[in-house]
Structure 1
Amino acid sequence: MLIERAEGKWVADFVEVFGLCKIRRGEVVAILSESQSRPVLTELAELALIQMGARAFHVRMPTPRLESSIPVRSTGASQAIGELQPVVQLLAACDVVVDCTVEGLLHSPERADILSKGARIFMISNEHPEILERLKPSHALQEKCLAGAKLITGAEIMKITSDAGTNLTVNLNGTQGRGSAGIADKPGSFGYWPAGLCICFPRPDSVNGTLVLSPGDVNLTFKRYLDTPVTFHIENDYVVSIEGSGIDAELIRGYYKSWNEADAYAVSHVGWGMAPSARWDALAMYDKRDTNGTELRAFAGNFLFSTGANETAGRYTGCHFDYPMRNCTVFLDDHCVVDSGSLAKELL
């Protein structure tokens, strides 16, 4: 296990990344955390913000009681605020919220209200600082991610295939593409670190076909590389059957079933990774406690398939899976953006 302390080099990294988010001297910045947050992240954020001359303070919430016996991981929907309106109003009145909660505010119910008055949110994934050091955002990557998002918005169909048997179709009519390298530099913007994705949340009844997870693909909720194939059959957004005879399929089937919710099986978001510094093999190098696995969502050329909450489709559930997949081909209409796991030249 790596040691967690406030290294000077990591303070410098936080100063650099906060600078990309245009945090300036005198800005009011809330460092939001909870009792189970990684202490080194809140400490690094504080030291960097003070060095930059920001007016920083802490908002620390008690980590809430579990709502069920199911272990919940990697949802991006922190329950730490608990929709307490005095806390929401306080955060909304700030210039910036540095989000160090365990799950993050990406899909939280309070996110929209906090952003509505111009506050910007910068979410730091629950990672060891060494991972953040390797995966700092950049303006160059941000431009590429935004270009990919524009391609999604302008397309009608996303088609995903692989030699393993994936054959999936996503109707993109009326769907807004999203691209982020992890920079929140405008009023009302949201960024997260590490990042580097082009994704979308499909509208209802948009996703159909077959998805085949192969050995070496990743189940990020379990922080586990797959050893055996798992096949999803998807009809009108919902995984209607899960085939596979190995332990991977058994684990996945069992976890979905434990939620006893139809929407747990529904598609959340789809897209592809863009970050050249993110590595597929990184999960093998860290203890599970040291990583949230966010890096593997972003490694360049992966197809990212996710199930769980999809606000665009009006679906909400605490069950969330991210499956970064290798060696897939992704078409937007007749335009190839990922070719057998490699980004198109225009996106490099």
Structure 2
Amino acid sequence: MLQETIEPAWLDAFESVLARCALQKGDTVAVLSESQSRPILPQLARLAAARLGAQVFDLVLPSAFTSTLPVARSTGASPVLRQIQPVVSALAASTLVVDCTVEGLMHAPELPAILKGGARVLYVSNEHPEALARLLPDDRIEALVKEHVKRLRGAREMRVTSPAGTDLTISLQGAVCGGNWGYTTRPGTMTHWPGGLALAFPAAGSVDGTLVLAEGDVNLTFKRYLERPVTLRVERDHVTRIEGSGVDAELMRSYIAAWGDREAYAVSHVGYGLNAAARWDSMALYDKRDFNGTELRAFAGNFLYSTGANEVAGRHTAGHFDLPLRHCTVQLDGRTVVDNGTLLE
């Protein structure tokens, strides 16, 4: 396990990202964390904001636990705000919210009110600071993500195939498409660090076909490289069968069934990674507690398929899988953007 003491390089990294968020002297920065947050992340955020001359305050909330549901991981929907209005109001009135909660506010129900107040939100993924410093956003990534989001918004269909047997058709009509590059300068917007993703949340009834998770693909909910293939049959958005033998398939069947919720089988979002600095093999080099896995969602050329909540399709559930796949070919209206796992220029 890596140590988590403040290192100059890590503080410099936080200062660099906050500066890219157009933080100015005198701006108000809320550093949001919870009792189970990685302590060094809010510490670094607080010091970096102070270096830039901002007015900084901490909001620390108790983490939420439940004994009536399965363990939830990788949801992107932190439950810690609990609709507490004074907390939401304080965040909404801030110039910048540095979100250091474990799961992040990306899909939290309170996020729209925070953004409506004009705050911009930076979710710092629950990674070891070494990984965050290694994945600093650069000048190129913003333009690259915007170009691919534009492509997604202009396309009617995504087709995904692979040598392992994936053949998935995704209608993009009615989808909400977006992306992030690791920083944000516009009030009322959110991003996460590390960044480098282009995603679509499809409308209801938009996804059909076969998704084959091959050896070496990733189940980020379990923080596990697959050792044996797993085949997902998808009909009108929902996984109808999980085929395969061995622990990987058994774990998926067991966990998704534990929610007792049909929506846990449905598609959440689809997209592909754009970050050339992110690495597929990095998960092998960290202990599970050191690692959240945003890097594997963003590595260039991966196809990311996720199950669970999808507000665009009107589906809500805490069950969630993030599944980055290698060696896929992704086409938008017949034009290839990822060729056998390689992002095309």
Quick check: TM above 0.5? yes
Find the counterpart in structure 1 of residue 177 from structure 2: 177
C-alpha contact 2:69 2:259 (8 A) present in aligned 1: no
1:46 aligns with 2:60: no
Could you give the per-residue CA deviations for residues 9-47 of structure 1, whole angstroms, max 9, x where no partner exists?
111111101011111110001000000000000100111
User: Which residue does the alignment assign to 1:103?
Assistant: 103
Structure 1 residue 261: Cα displacement: 0.2
Distance 1:111 1:213 in 2: 32
TM-score, normalising length: structure 2 = 0.99
- After the TM superposition, which residues 20-99 of structure 1 pair with which residues of structure 2 at under 5 Å, given as runs? 20-99=20-99
Q: How far apart, CA to CA, are the structure 1 residues paired with 2:74 and 2:284? A: 18
CA–CA separation in structure 1 for the residues paired with 2:146 and 2:317: 28
Q: 1:66 to 1:314 in 2, by over 3 A?
A: same
- Partner of residue 9, structure 1: 9
Q: Which residue of the partner structure matches residue 303 of structure 1?
A: 303
| Cα distance in 2 between the residues matched to 1:313 and 1:138 | 33
Q: What is the identity, as a one-letter code, of the residue corresponding to 1:94?
A: S
CA-CA distance at 1:300 after TM superposition: 0.3
- Counterpart mapping for 1:1-348 below 5 A: 1-345=1-345
- 1:144-197 C-alpha deviation (Å, 9 max, x unpaired): 011001101000110000011000000011223212111111111111011110
In the aligned structure 1, how far is the partner of 2:319 from the partner of 2:69?
13
8 Å CA contact 1:152, 1:176 repeated in 2 = no
Contact conserved, 1:33 with 1:101, CA < 8 A, in 2? yes
Cα deviation for residue 218 of structure 1 reads: 0.1
Letter in 2 for 1:299: F
Equivalent-residue separation in structure 2 for 1:168 and 1:65 (angstroms): 36
Where structure 1 has 5 or more consecutive residues not aligned to the other structure, the ranges are: none
**Identity rate, percent:** 53
Q: Deviations over 1:284-316 (max 9, x none)?
A: 000000000110000000000000110111111
CA distance in structure 2 between the partners assigned to 1:189 and 1:154 by the alignment: 22
Within 1, Cα distance between the matches of 2:264 and 2:67?
16
The CA deviation string for residues 51-86 of structure 1, in whole angstroms up to 9 with x for no partner, is 110000000001122252511111100001111111
C-alpha distance in 2 between matches for 1:176 and 1:293:
24
Which stretch has the larger CA shift, 135-144 or 99-108?
135-144
Could you tell me how far apart the structure 1 residues matched to 2:245 and 2:139 are? 45
**Aligned equivalents of 1:299, 1:180: Cα separation in 2:** 13
| 2:223 aligned partner, one-letter code | K
For the 8 Å contact 2:279–2:296, the answer to whether it is kept is yes
Q: Shift of residue 216 of structure 1?
A: 0.2
- What is the rounded CA distance, in whole Å, between the counterparts of 1:181 and 1:201 in structure 2? 18
Q: Secondary structure at the match of 1:80?
A: coil
Kept in 2: contact 1:156–1:332 (CA 8 A)? yes
- RMSD of the alignment, in Å? 0.8
1:255-293 CA distances to partner (integer Å, 9 max, x unpaired)?
001000000000000000000000000000000000001
Distance 1:294 1:334 in 2: 28
Task: Report the number of matched residues.
Answer: 345
Aligned equivalents of 2:140, 2:176: Cα separation in 1 = 22
Contact map agreement 1:142 1:179 (CA 8 A) in 2: no
For residues 206-239 of structure 1, give each alpha carbon's deviation from its aligned partner in whole angstroms, at most 9, with x where no partner exists: 0000000000000000000000000000010000
TM-score (norm: length of structure 1):
0.98
SS at match of 1:133: helix
Does the 8 A contact of 1:21 with 1:183 survive in 2?
A: yes
